[in-house]
Structure 1
């Protein structure tokens, strides 16, 4: 895949404080990446480095082949950015705001008008002052300005903050559309649950260090966390052979047996369970979530 962002051995220090330490990764065209970590972990600093707003103390940052801090305007024009806390001139209308940013970015103002519908900003709101907007409406306006000029790279910091569930779904539909067109999308978010199934890759940052990087399947394989298997029995008093395999099974009042199974035991156990198909009326497999993996990698880093 075509690499759009490269960070190699990047560190950022302010005096004696190291905010980012020796971080290396590449982002690629058509890839959606979740950048996750607690407040102060270094996520926003990494985004600012990609934008060229700050320069690394050590290491190399390249965006579309250019140094973002010194590169030409054309490369920066292909970047879209939505900060965590959007801030606009409250006296301007939504239309005036987007036209202002279109002129700054030197993109077609007429094309900017189409973005209001794409981000779900109602026509009756477009010509109202931004001071009358709710937080969600300002967030949608911020997303519209990030999309100006059909960017090749989108850097979105807490992009769904203030959006209701329906608009969150619309937002991720838009991200899927952009990904299909080859846009690199970096999502920095605390909303780990909603990121599952919507990103190709997860980078976990803690104390300025990238402690994990890979697909969800990659991270599950590395973490070796147990999978929860729940089996609803067709008969309450039955004692299946596979329930005597040395694992701790818990049975509830509805006749459901549940156990946590390590990765190397999962497939053989499922084979045994499905071989006794007449004994089961339901089967649920719950893999470790992104929340589980995030907590695991944080614990692992602390105990090293």
Structure 2
């Protein structure tokens, strides 16, 4: 079994009375893309900072490339790590080329190689035309592209991306995901944190869902769908309302979607066979729950459990008073 590139074992971070990250266990393998999802304050950035070694865990263990990232021994391995923070900022007076050349030198590139790396990356993210302009003249989208270029310096072994597509137009977002796919194929491991869920799922291997510092779910999209037991939506066309008269199928219809069947995964094939027996059927569209629906399911479940817990505590306090 290969040693994970990143491992968190019961890792948590507390600030006085606040548990920013509760005991989380996760492993990231080489060449794997992990999607990290959660609302603001869920603990995503705290987890990234623990992996970067910027902060130390209050409990548990964090290892990156075989060592604690906050240890002195980990300094040399930081050149193999790329990071894009949620809010990027650079020296306003420097040009894009000067900014990237500077960061490339920090990562160990010689002066000549640093400039070449900077030019190549500026071309990759599509801002070559602005490379000799001061950063203060850049738009938000251009700054985000410059931030991505900075994170990609030296084809990092580990890449941490916090809201990487904020400020990017659809074309730039597409180009970004192509770069992620390329880095993955070259063996890089990536943790991708995003609020924008549509379009993410085909680029990640597994997903982690956090809420209030707690790990709610982790796995492939297929595994999370199975855990959530979300139905498959089957949309037939050409039946002109005849589904309502089919006793084997009308139980899967809902008032909100009169022409859509919401079917448990394990019954999908038998429902499809029954639909194919209808003479008027001219097309079928089968749609499994997407990442956004899976995310909302686990978040809603957590909120309900939290409410029940609060009611339980209130009832206990009421009983004690009486």
Normalised to the residue count of structure 2, the TM-score between the two structures is 0.88
- Deviation by residue 1:249-294 (Cα, 9 ceiling, x = unmatched): 3699xxx831211222222101222244x42111111211211111
- Change in Cα spacing, 1:237 to 1:302, as seen in structure 2 (3 Å) is closer
Instruction: Report the aligned-residue RMSD.
Output: 2.0
- Deviation by residue 1:54-79 (Cα, 9 ceiling, x = unmatched): 00000111111121111332211100
Q: How far apart, CA to CA, are the structure 1 residues paired with 2:47 and 2:255? A: 48
Query: Which residue of structure 2 lines up, in the alignment, with residue 193 of structure 1?
Result: 198
Query: Which residue of structure 2 lines up, in the alignment, with residue 291 of structure 1?
Result: 292
1:249 matched to 2:253: yes
Q: Please, which runs of 5 or more residues in structure 2 have no aligned partner? A: 306-322
- The Cα shift of 1:248 comes to 4.3
Query: In the alignment, is the contact (CA less than 8 A) between 1:242 and 1:273 conserved in 2?
Result: no
Q: How far apart, CA to CA, are the structure 2 residues paired with 1:239 and 1:42? A: 46
- The Cα shift of 1:17 comes to 0.9
- Deviation by residue 1:225-264 (Cα, 9 ceiling, x = unmatched): 111111102x537568755445143699xxx831211222
Q: How far apart, CA to CA, are the structure 2 residues paired with 1:103 and 1:236? A: 67
- Aligned length in residues: 299
Query: In the alignment, is the contact (CA less than 8 A) between 2:101 and 2:117 conserved in 1?
Result: no
Q: How far apart, CA to CA, are the structure 1 residues paired with 2:206 and 2:184? A: 13
Query: Which residue of structure 2 lines up, in the alignment, with residue 98 of structure 1?
Result: 100
Q: How far apart, CA to CA, are the structure 2 residues paired with 1:8 and 1:63? A: 12
Q: How far apart, CA to CA, are the structure 2 residues paired with 1:11 and 1:227? A: 36
Which has the larger helix fraction? 2
Which has the larger strand fraction? 1
Instruction: Give SS of 2:98's match.
Output: helix
Query: Which residue of structure 2 lines up, in the alignment, with residue 113 of structure 1?
Result: 119
Query: Which residue of structure 1 lines up, in the alignment, with residue 39 of structure 2?
Result: 38
Q: How far apart, CA to CA, are the structure 2 residues paired with 1:145 and 1:49? A: 20
Normalised to the residue count of structure 1, the TM-score between the two structures is 0.93
